[in-house]
Amino acid sequence: MCKSSDAGGSCQVLSHLSLAIDRWIIYLWLS
């Protein structure tokens, strides 16, 4: 999906965002 040579490391930011969103969805779904 993401290449390690991505300029600015925007792929890392996107992956961290998706992880946070997944955790929020799980948290809201369980509550």
**pLDDT tens for residues 1-31?**
566 565 666 777 777 888 889 999 999 999 8
Residue type, 19: L
User: Given this model, what pLDDT does residue 30 score?
Assistant: 93
pLDDT given for residue 27 in this prediction: 93
User: What is the C-alpha to C-alpha distance for residues 20 and 14, in angstroms, rounded to an integer?
Assistant: 10
Distance CA 8, CA 10 (A): 5
Per-residue pLDDT, 11? 72
Predicted pLDDT of residue 12: 75
* 2 contacts: CB under 8 Å, gap ≥ 6: 11, 12, 14, 15
Half-sphere exposure of 24 (CA within 13 A, CB side): 6
Q: Is the pTM of this model over 0.75?
A: no
